[in-house]
């Protein structure tokens, strides 16, 4: 009898240990670095919201953020271009004003400012290298990272090993991209193929009447068949960069963002498999009143309820990418 009880106790402890291990939050690194346009208003809200969603859901922990260095680099004033020979009086007046501003700025540019600018640039480069080193395949493996999130990144990020990064995802890890993650790595086919998005343009911010491509998917956020945003910057993608036969549509428009009178599928959010890895992307997230539902947001257009829906959308997408929530990744190009 004692032996049986001892065996049951050992089994219970082992089961408890396994359950605790299984329930351990996934480990995530967020990247908000930009080398192109910087969403300086929404990025701080994105960083804060992603940390909070992880903590509240207990699904994941943001263990680190690859951020832009906070180094102030003095920039020598740029001299205006030459005035055109056929310039009219209005152009001449504008040129005179620009030249005065340039001369005033140059008068304040002391001889030692050139060296200060070089030193600041050197420091910025060193900090950027250290920040982006967090996304090296070696560090991701050593830190047992499960997913990387690009939140409003832009441009060609100085990844230490960008091909190795794509392979890391394809080997069974997760990648999530928000908004201008689709305006990142324009010249890198490996990234563009993984995300299936390359930003082309956007018009003025508009209301968006989104349609669910899959209302049962976790990234639907429990919102349902339709989702109406009061205002958002809606992306259009380059021809050929978005292959619907390679992805699973989650949210889309039935018309181009700027033309409700034209019937045409316009992609907004989707997921897909990249090798053994899972990829989730949403083009939404330009406005801070989507990221944050509190009074910290000024000039709110989207209600706090819509903000919470956006948070549910990205949380569901992240959890799906981490293998913690249900949802198909089967391509659904027939979605209309």
Of 50, 135, 139, the closest CA to residue 318 belongs to: 50
Predicted local confidence at residue 211, as pLDDT: 98
Predicted local confidence at residue 23, as pLDDT: 62
Residue 250 scores a pLDDT above 50: yes
What is the residue range of 267's domain? 24-73+131-321
In a domain, 86, yes or no: no
Residue 22 scores a pLDDT above 90: no
Cβ contact 285:42 at 8 Å: yes
Rounded to whole angstroms, the Cα distance separating 275 from 59 reads 23
In a domain, 1, yes or no: no
Rounded to whole angstroms, the Cα distance separating 169 from 156 reads 18
311: CB partners within 8 A, 6+ apart: 49, 53, 221, 291, 293
Q: How confident is the model at residue 16 (pLDDT cuts 50, 70, 90)?
A: very low
In a domain, 121, yes or no: no
User: 151 vs 83, which has greater pLDDT?
Assistant: 151
Which of the residue ranges 5-14, 71-80, 108-117, 222-231 has the most confident prediction, judged by mean pLDDT? 222-231
- DSSP states along 240-262: TS--GGGSEEEEEESS-TT-TTS
Region 129-135: mean pLDDT is: 95
pTM comes to 0.86
User: What are the beta bridge partners of residue 61?
Assistant: 27
Place of tokens 């958002």: 232
Helices and strands, number each (H, E), in the chain? 9, 11
In a domain, 209, yes or no: yes
| CB atoms closer than 10 angstroms to residue 320 | 23
Q: Which CATH number covers residue 45?
A: 3.40.50.880
What is the percent of the chain where pLDDT is above 90? 81
Rounded to whole angstroms, the Cα distance separating 46 from 314 reads 11
SS3 326: coil
Six-digit token string for 288: 């801070």
User: 109 vs 39, which has greater pLDDT?
Assistant: 39
Place of tokens 């960069």: 241
Predicted local confidence at residue 40, as pLDDT: 93
Q: Phi and psi of 314, rounded to 5°?
A: -75, -35
Q: Phi and psi of 33, rounded to 5°?
A: -75, 145
In a domain, 336, yes or no: no
Residue 15 scores a pLDDT above 60: no
In a domain, 116, yes or no: no
Region 50-55: mean pLDDT is: 98
The domain total for the chain is 1
Region 198-204: mean pLDDT is: 97
Instruction: Let me know if 229 is exposed, middle or buried by CB neighbors in 10 A (0-12, 13-18, 19+).
Output: buried
In a domain, 59, yes or no: yes
Rounded to whole angstroms, the Cα distance separating 249 from 268 reads 8
In a domain, 293, yes or no: yes
Q: H-helix or E-strand containing 272?
A: strand 266-274
Residue 4 scores a pLDDT above 70: no
């Amino acid at each position: 009898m004692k032996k049986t009880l001892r065996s049951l106790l050992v089994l219970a402890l082992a089961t408890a240990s396994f359950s605790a291990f299984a329930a351990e939050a996934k480990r995530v690194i967020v990247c908000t670095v930009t080398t192109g346009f910087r969403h300086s208003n929404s990025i701080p809200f994105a960083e804060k919201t992603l940390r909070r969603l992880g903590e509240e859901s207990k699904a994941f922990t943001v263990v680190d953020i690859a951020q832009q260095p906070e180094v102030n680099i003095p920039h020598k004033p740029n001299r205006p271009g030459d005035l055109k020979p056929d310039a009219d009086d209005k152009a001449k007046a504008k040129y005179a004003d620009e030249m005065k501003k340039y001369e005033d700025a140059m008068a304040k540019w002391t001889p030692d400012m050139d060296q200060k600018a070089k030193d600041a640039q050197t420091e910025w480069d060193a900090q950027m290298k250290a920040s982006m080193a967090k996304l090296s395949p070696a560090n991701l493996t050593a830190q047992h990272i499960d997913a990387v999130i690009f939140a409003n990144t832009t441009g060609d990020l100085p990844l230490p090993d960008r091909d190795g990064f794509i392979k890391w995802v394809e080997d069974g890890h997760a990648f999530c991209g928000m908004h201008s993650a689709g305006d990142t790595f324009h010249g890198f086919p490996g990234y563009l193929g993984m995300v299936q998005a390359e930003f082309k343009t956007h018009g003025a911010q508009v209301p968006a009447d989104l349609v669910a491509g899959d209302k049962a998917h976790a990234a639907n956020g429990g919102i349902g068949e339709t989702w109406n945003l009061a205002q958002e910057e809606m992306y259009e993608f380059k021809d050929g960069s978005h292959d619907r036969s390679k992805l699973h549509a989650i949210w889309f428009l039935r018309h181009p963002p700027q033309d409700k009178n034209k019937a045409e599928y316009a992609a907004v959010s989707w997921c897909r498999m990249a090798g053994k890895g899972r990829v989730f992307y949403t083009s939404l997230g330009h406005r801070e009143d989507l990221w944050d539902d509190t009074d910290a947001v000024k000039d709110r257009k989207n209600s706090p309820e819509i903000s919470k829906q956006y948070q549910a959308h990205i949380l569901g997408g992240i959890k799906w990418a981490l293998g913690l929530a249900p949802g198909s990744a089967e391509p659904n190009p027939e979605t209309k």
